[in-house]
Amino acid sequence: MRGKEVISKTETTKNPTKMSLDQPPPPLPLVVSLNCLEDCNLEQETLAGIATVEHVGLNRLSDGLIESATAILLHSLAFLPRAAQRKLQSWQLILCLGSSDRSVDSALAADLGLRLVHVDASRAEEIADTVMALFLGLLRRTHLLSRHAFSASGWLGSVQPLCRGMRRCRGLVLGIVGRSASARSLATRSLAFKISVLYFDVQELNVAFGSLVLKLEG
């Protein structure tokens, strides 16, 4: 009898583990794009298997997704309606993408007891300046000229050897993938150097390629 009791106890202790293995995995954390990033395909592909990303507009405030989200993406907390602000929770991580006035959003988040983190996304001009500087460095060797100017203390007698191999910018064609703010700023700077600009839209290329495949299959 004693042996049967031990066997029954071991079976009862193993049953909960077996039942836990049969249970479905817990749901993935939800990331809500609140009135921003209407097209979340890139975010969904990047966070696949890690989190669920969904866009929520101001017309869907009553869906209950904001309250159940782990992280909230938004452009500005101050520009949200009061009804949307009241649905944000203190335990949520709120990411503010490129706020126009950080101090106002931070003060409002402190008043509401929210955890707000600013993500600097409005650096289109700085990105364009950096890319253009690297571009000119390859074509005009501006980095070598700058280094020589600092080392020679203004003496320009030996600049000509450094200028060998330089290329003119006029007439070149610059291909830019996408039409973001930084891409437009780079195109504006390129036109000042008489460089032609061609845009390649990834979404339009995918649609055109898909239609071509359908025609070939048909």
The pLDDT value given to residue 218:
53
Of residues 126, 102, 135, the one with CA closest to residue 116: 102
d(Cα 149, Cα 160) in Å, to the nearest integer?
13
| CA–CA–CA angle 80, 82, 84 (5° rounding) | 60
Torsion of CA 60, 63, 69, 74, to 10 degrees: 10
DSSP state for residue 97 in the 8-state scheme = E
What residue type is 106 in one-letter code?
Answer: S
168 and 201 share a domain?
yes
Of residues 75, 128, 127, 126, the one with CA closest to residue 100: 75
Q: In what order do the strands lie in the sheet with 93-97?
A: 52-56, 30-34, 71-74, 93-97, 115-119
The pLDDT value given to residue 213:
46
Find the CATH number of the domain harbouring 68.
3.40.50.720
Q: Which residues of the chain have pLDDT under 50?
A: 6-7, 10-12, 209, 212-213
Is residue 50, in this structure, part of any structural domain at all?
yes
Residue range(s) defining the domain that contains residue 157:
124-217
d(Cα 134, Cα 131) in Å, to the nearest integer?
5
- Tally the domains of the chain: 2
Of 97, 119, 141, the domain-final residue: 119
Of 119, 153, 174, the domain-final residue: 119
155-209: pLDDT as tens digits: 556 666 767 767 788 888 988 887 777 888 899 999 888 899 988 876 655 555 4
184-196: pLDDT as tens digits: 889 999 988 889 9
| Residue 76 backbone zone (phi > 0: left; psi -120 to 50: alpha; other: beta) | beta
Of 62, 86, 119, the domain-final residue: 119
